[in-house]
Structure 1
Amino acid sequence: MKRLIIYSILSIAAIYAYGQSNFSKTDIKSIMKRVADWQIANPAKGHEHDDLNWTHAALYMGMIDWAELTEKEDGDSSYYEWLMKIGRRNAWQVGKYMYHADHIAVGQVFLDMYQKYHDRNMLLPTLARTEFVINHPSASTLELDYRNMSSLERWSWCDALFMAPPVYAKMYMLTNDWKYIEFMNREYKATYDYLFDKEEKLFYRDHRYFKQKEANGTKVFWGRGNGWVLGGLCEILQTLPHSNMHRQFYQDLFITLSERIIQLQGKDGYWHASLLDPDSYPSPETSATGFIVYALAYGVNEGLLDKTTFMPAIEKGWKALVKAVEKDGKLGYVQPIGADPKKVTREMTEVYGVGAFLLAGNQIYEMVE
């Protein structure tokens, strides 16, 4: 609490030093368009990048927010058309593994498309998958060794809290069937109880890191992993109405995690691959930073986070993200696919980093008057 008070005082001083907001709507849209267009023109390849994988699910989530913005303000439906082509060529299916959270993540975007176009083909595959999982719950436990594939049938790693819970929240809102929210709450809280360190107020990536230490002796808390959790909470909070009795848990967790994460921003504006040992991973990391800026900006826009306290971190984070974009729109400094902190270089890029960038940009754009 004392650290947060000190940070707040410094934040107020920073606001007076450079003004309430240095954002420009024109600049924000311009950089977002460059990043989105570069990614579309340079599709990712490989087995981790098929249309229905989690990597692309995160990209689509940023793209659909960007599509909504460009259609609303510019009458440009081309990004919706791009998403439509992806959905149609895959018959709006989700991934192949029945219980794996990563393989239902694309359902979030397909359900959003259904809400816009009301084409039942966009809904039915995700409906079928969620119905089966709820009616035939996995008998696996969160504690299983990761060499056993059954360990991935539950939300046993923190990234899963971005991938799957929002699907069930959206299914609940679409059907008004309480079973979806009951399933989401039960599974989410099990993961929270298992992976959330109540002393550090951060999430372990998974059970393998409970006893590991960084070079400086601190616990291992992965930047993007905690960014995944914050991003998933944003999606849940944007879905559940304020009157929903279960919303308070997610809102309180969002605020707690946000208040902790703001203390861990680097002087360069980035959140680094290792949250508690940034000196061992000093290079920028844009996927963690993108998801965190998205979450903090959403929190301010929604009135959940204090603007005076959080705006300086949001501004520093967005400026850092923009610095990582090449002239052609390629986003750099994205940590590759993994489960723990790794070193990152400027030429590294990934589709989920672009998704996070677009999610953040849309929230930044919304806060500019």
Structure 2
Amino acid sequence: MKKIFFVSLILLAQISFAKIPNKVILEKMHLAKSYFQTKWPDVGQVIVSPDRTRPSNIWTRAVFYEGLMELYKLDPKESDMKYMMDWGNFHQWGLRDGKINTRNADNQACGQVYIDLFLMGKGDSSLIKPIKTNIDNMVYSTKADDWSWVDCLQMSMPVYARLAKMYKDNAYWEKMYDLYAFTKNKHAVNGLYDPQEALWFRDKDFVLPYKEPNGEKCFWSRGNAWVYAALVRTLEQMEANSPHREEYVTMFQNMSKALLPLQRNDGFWTVSLKDPTNFGGPELTGTALFAYGFSYGMRTGLLDKKTYTKPLESAMKGLLTCVHPSGFLGNVQGTGKEPKDGQPVTFNSVPNFEDFGLGCFLLAGTEYLKLSK
């Protein structure tokens, strides 16, 4: 009887995930990726916006390459590997503007991809020397207040995690935790994490008494999504006995529970998690990273499949509706730090940066496929 019961559960899970064919998701990811690569054939082309010109190894582009890396691991294309290697070689595997001593987490994001390429045997230690030197400078300093906005966690924590795992050196785990704990508990006096809501304020500008138009606290979707993705990309590098792992697992599970009731009926989350009337509507980047986390959590046993399968499928269906026939992604909020930034967010609106939204979409799709397999 027990055997029949468990077989039934397995079949139900397979039927559930079969609602979105894997082939469709893979095709949509390659379509969106190809659209971007066609638009940006030169990996070293500077990114020009109204306020300034930026090099192509800034955080927005790094997030795209994080997603491309995961897609390559799942469905390798030599052209994608060349696109990644050409990017690293163009920048000589350096951080933004060659700032080896930078403490800005945004500048460190590219290191995630550099390290992954090195671990895949695509080059010698020159690929990781700049990022390792940069992080080592931080590890062996006492300063721990650098991550004053929550985006930092996604940009930098996975770099520390990769180095800790590679070198089997707990110093990286401990410094990463010090930086994380300061952001959680001390920035803006009491920290940027709200334990009552199990959500994060983006930075000091949004802690109480700041409130949204409907009187709720301001929890920006993508800000929380950055934290959520940081936890995933850190936990996937950790062993069962890695320092502070339980803290990250508990945070991941608590955030997951908090996100469930905030999901819209169409599968998306709005830019303001607790005030859907403040620039309401579907938004891709936060939704994609929440789906990324749901998939990872269920695949690794950290989240209950019975609870999270339906919300995940709803989110994935919503995300697929954002892909234009050309591969352009709609409903992407541009760069910023709060609900009003990067507006309007519509199916046809073009964000100021198209790269990081695509990276979020690729992370969601690849992790979903890993789970469904």
Common fold, TM-score beyond 0.5?
A: yes
Match of 2:92 in 1: 91
Shift of 1:56: 0.8
- Give the aligned partner of residue 309 of structure 1: 307
**Segments ≥4 residues shifted beyond 6 Å:** none
- State the alpha-carbon separation in 2 of the partners of residues 243 and 115 from structure 1: 22
Q: How does 1:157-236 map to 2 (within 5 A)?
A: 157-193=149-185, 194-210=191-207, 211-236=209-234
Specify which of 41, 44, 47 is matched with residue 45 of structure 1.
47
Deviation per residue, 1:65-92 (Å, 9 max, x gap): 0111122xxxx22211110000001111
After TM superposition, give the deviation of residue 137 of structure 1 in Å: 4.4
Name the one with the larger helix percent.
1
Residue 129 (1) aligns with residue 134 (2): yes
Q: In the alignment, what sits opposite 1:80? A: 81
Q: CA deviation at 1:345?
A: 2.1
Question: What is the aligned counterpart of 2:27 among 22, 30, 46?
Answer: 30
1:299, 1:363 → 2: CA distance?
10
Q: Deviations over 1:301-332 (max 9, x none)?
A: 11110111001111111111110110010111
Give the conservation status (yes or no) of the 8 Å contact 1:99–1:138: no
Residue deviations 1:102-145, cap 9 Å, x none?
00011011111110015211110111101112224448x5xxxx
Counterparts of residues 181-330 of structure 1 (less than 5 Å): 181-193=173-185, 194-210=191-207, 211-330=209-328
Distance 1:94 1:270 in 2: 34
Cα distance between partner residues in 2 of 1:368 and 1:54: 30
RMSD: 1.9
State the Cα deviation string for residues 21-68 of structure 1 (Å, max 9, x = none).
Answer: 412111111001001111111238325752211101111110000111
* Structure 1 letter corresponding to 2:74: L
Alpha-carbon distance in 2 for matches of 1:77, 1:45: 25
Instruction: Give the TM-score taking structure 2 as reference length.
Output: 0.87
Structure 1 residues 191 and 276: alpha-carbon distance in aligned structure 2, compared to 1, 3 A threshold: same
Gaps of 5+ in 1: 1-14, 142-153
Residue type at the aligned position of 1:340: E
How far, CA to CA, are the matches of 2:105 and 2:178 in structure 1? 15
Distance 1:65 1:56 in 2: 15
Secondary structure at the counterpart of residue 317 of structure 2: helix
| Paired position in structure 2 for 1:348 | 350
Q: Relative contact order, CA 8 A, sep 6+: which one is greater? A: 1
Q: Could you tell which deviates more after superposition, 270-279 or 48-57?
A: 48-57
Unaligned runs of 5+ in 2: 1-11, 41-45, 186-190
User: Is 1:363 aligned to 2:367, yes or no?
Assistant: yes
3-state secondary structure, aligned to 2:47: coil
Partner amino acid, structure 1, of 2:152: A
Deviation, 1:367, is 2.1
Q: Which secondary structure does the structure 2 equivalent of 1:327 belong to?
A: coil
* Separation (CA, whole Å) in 2 of partners of 1:273 and 1:265: 11
Return the alpha-carbon distance in structure 2 between the equivalents of residues 102 and 213 of structure 1: 27
Q: CA–CA distance in 1 between the matches of 2:254 and 2:54?
A: 33
Q: What amino acid is the match of 2:159?
A: V
Aligned residue identity for 2:89: R
Q: Secondary structure at the match of 1:39?
A: helix
Residue in 2 that maps onto 1:144 = none
Which residue identity lines up with residue 268 of structure 2 in the other structure? Y
Corresponding residue of 1:70: 75
Letter in 2 for 1:178: N
Q: Which amino acid aligns with 2:149?
A: W
- Percent pairwise identity: 31
More divergent stretch after superposition (239-248 vs 47-56): 47-56
| Structure 2 counterpart of 1:119, from 105, 120, 124 | 124
Distance, in Å, in 2 between the alignment partners of 1:213 and 1:275 is 12
Q: Check conservation: 1:21, 1:315, Cα contact below 8 A.
A: no
Q: Which amino acid aligns with 1:133?
A: M
